[in-house]
Amino acid sequence: MNEINISSGFFIPRENESSAQVFKRVRLMPLYSFPHIRDMNLSIGEFKNRYFMHLDFDAFFAQVEQRDCPALRGKPVSVGGYGKEKGIVMTASYEARKFGVETGMSVWEAKKLCPELLSVPCYGPKYESIMFNLLDILKSFVPDDCMEQYSIDECFIDVTSVVADFSQAHWLALAIKKKVKQEENLTVSIGCSYNKTYAKMATKFQKPDGLTIISPEDRNRIYSLPVEKIWGVGRRIARRLSVMNIITVGDLANSSVGSMRKEFGINGVILRKLARGEDTSLVHSKRPEPKSKSISHNHTLYENVYKENDVIKEIRKVCEYVGRKLRAKKLIAGYMGLVIRYEDLRYAGDKIKLIQYTNDDRILFEAAMVIFRKFPRPCIAYRARMFGLYTFDLQTDLRRENLELFDKRIYLPYYSIDKLKKKYGEKIIRIGIV
């Protein structure tokens, strides 16, 4: 049973699709993890008669894998990693969590804690599509612009427009849970409160398959929680807070603004406001996509390579990947850089100005090879384990190109090739070398 093989293959870029933002959000979570001062409405102290819900899938990836494979049900399962021992645990099922298996552990470590652990590979697109189904389900309950996807397995909804008090919110939450169970056969935990911070914290009270409501009167339940439970407070900030004698959320709420500001700056003030229930941020149904400043891709290999052909193949692969990412965003790059990490974890990297602004794989590859020739050459005693390519100085692709005198490069309709690949799979068309 240990050898469940779902080949995810080389990850397919989907920059131009809205789902790409899901992964980005997960990666950027610390940046967005708690509201910015700009998002807050400082003219009102705290929300009154506003109702927010926070939905969280329980052990999402593991739950999905257990749903799809009956053999995994009721057993300790971890998702992530590759093969038997490599990789990290991205999610552990509740059965595995009892053994102490946590997110972020290496699979090898987890196996020591729980020898029966079944490790299955992670398949991103599947989880994405389930999250989108959930959002679709939610559309039947609340208007479109009241939903905010917060990460790959969490979302906020503003239900003020459809409920009038907490008892109605309770019924709505139950209806949502029932519908999700019916349609997707998955369980979600829901927290409901009068601001986003409390709603998110409420979810944690009862898991899995829970429903918790925090009304302004139940504030003491939140206040008694340790301060780490509030978003934006991690290990380090918690340590600094404990020096100031702030152990629980209640302590934080009752601390003085001046001392928080002195210690943490504006973020301290925000944290204190969040703890007091004065989070006045709204759901962001759509964030404007910021303009990319650089586009890059790193690929760490399962097996280190040293043969020249293999190395060149890997470089070509990352070039193709980055070229495709650029084209998906309709951008052209002026500079590019190549990074190689060797097996002793040393880096070699350099950047170069391209002949002209481009998103052509071949020009990127040519430039990458110029850089590569300056690096220490991988050999059997010194293998390469990671290839990274980055491009910057990005401009909009106006589909104009200055012709070259000496390079009689045949024009390739890259945009159409990308479309074909997207529709019929990666192997439908390939660039041959004559």
Partner 1 sequence: MKFKVLANQFLNTINRLNYIVPASSTLPILTNIKFDLKGNNLTLQATDLEIFMSHTLSVNGERDGELIAPAKELLSLIRALSYHSEISIRVPDLSPEVVPDALLNSTVFSEKFKCDFAKKTILLSGIMTEDEKRELIELAGTDNLKSALEDLFEKQSREFSKISFNVSVDEKKRMMLKTVNGRYVLACSASDDFPGPQETDEFRKIEFKDTPLARYLGKIIHTVSSNEIKRNMTGVLFDIRKSELRFVGTDGFRLGKYTKTNFKLKNQQEEKFIVPLRTCNLIIRINKTGKSVLEYSDKHIKVTINSTVLYSKLIDERFPNYESVIPKDNDKKLKISKKDLKLALNRALVFTDPITKKVKMEIKNTSLILRSDNPEKGGESEETIDCSFIAEGAQEADFDTTPFIISFNAQYLVECINQIDTEDMILTFSTPSKASIAYPTEQAEYENYMELVMPVRVI
Rounded distance between C-alpha atoms, residue 357 and residue 393, angstroms:
9
Q: Among 270, 326, 354, 384, indicate the residue that binds partner 1 (CB under 8 A).
A: 354
**Least distance to partner 1 from the beta carbon of 295, Å?**
17
| 381 near partner 1, rule: CB under 8 A | no
**Least distance to partner 1 from the beta carbon of 325, Å?**
19
**Least distance to partner 1 from the beta carbon of 405, Å?**
5
Surface-to-core class of residue 166, CB atoms within 10 Å of its CB (0-12 exposed, 13-18 middle, 19+ buried): middle
Region from 134-142, 192-200, 309-317, 390-398 binding partner 1, contact rule CB under 8 A:
390-398
Nearer to partner 1, 263 or 401 (CB): 401
Name residues contacting partner 1, limited to 317-336 (CB under 8 A): 332
| 352 near partner 1, rule: CB under 8 A | yes
Pair 208, 187: CB distance under 8 Å: yes
**Least distance to partner 1 from the beta carbon of 336, Å?**
10
Active site residue 154: yes
Helix (H) or strand (E) holding 415: helix 414-424
**Least distance to partner 1 from the beta carbon of 358, Å?**
10
Catalytic member of 65, 95, 148, 154: 154
Rounded distance between C-alpha atoms, residue 124 and residue 11, angstroms:
9
Residues 6+ apart with CB under 8 A from 71: 1
SS3 389: strand
Rounded distance between C-alpha atoms, residue 154 and residue 29, angstroms:
12
| 356 near partner 1, rule: CB under 8 A | yes
Q: Among 46, 184, 366, 418, indicate the residue that binds partner 1 (CB under 8 A).
A: 366
**Least distance to partner 1 from the beta carbon of 356, Å?**
8
| 71 near partner 1, rule: CB under 8 A | no
What is the 8-class DSSP label of residue 422? H
Pair 295, 333: CB distance under 8 Å: yes
Rounded distance between C-alpha atoms, residue 373 and residue 431, angstroms:
24
Region from 4-12, 90-98, 313-321, 349-357 binding partner 1, contact rule CB under 8 A:
349-357
Name residues contacting partner 1, limited to 400-429 (CB under 8 A): 400-407, 411
Residues 6+ apart with CB under 8 A from 93: 59, 62, 63, 66, 72, 75, 76, 77, 78
Q: Among 185, 256, 298, 395, indicate the residue that binds partner 1 (CB under 8 A).
A: 395
Name residues contacting partner 1, limited to 115-174 (CB under 8 A): none
Name residues contacting partner 1, limited to 10-29 (CB under 8 A): none
**Least distance to partner 1 from the beta carbon of 366, Å?**
7
Where b means 16+ CB within 10 Å and e means fewer, 252-278 reads bbebeeeebeebbeebbebbbbbbbbb
Region from 242-250, 265-273, 281-289, 348-356 binding partner 1, contact rule CB under 8 A:
348-356
| 289 near partner 1, rule: CB under 8 A | no
Nearer to partner 1, 302 or 406 (CB): 406
Nearest to 8 by CA among 91, 128, 95: 128
Where b means 16+ CB within 10 Å and e means fewer, 144-154 reads eebbbbbbbbb
Q: How many residues bind partner 1 (CB under 8 A)?
A: 23
Surface-to-core class of residue 236, CB atoms within 10 Å of its CB (0-12 exposed, 13-18 middle, 19+ buried): exposed
Nearer to partner 1, 407 or 426 (CB): 407
What is the 8-class DSSP label of residue 109? H
Nearer to partner 1, 31 or 398 (CB): 398
**Least distance to partner 1 from the beta carbon of 403, Å?**
4
Helix (H) or strand (E) holding 374: none
Nearer to partner 1, 126 or 351 (CB): 351
Nearest to 118 by CA among 150, 76, 82, 148: 76
Region from 79-87, 217-225, 307-315, 350-358 binding partner 1, contact rule CB under 8 A:
350-358
Q: Residues in the site for partner 1, rule: CB under 8 A?
A: 332, 352-357, 366-367, 370, 395-396, 398-407, 411
**Active site members:** 154
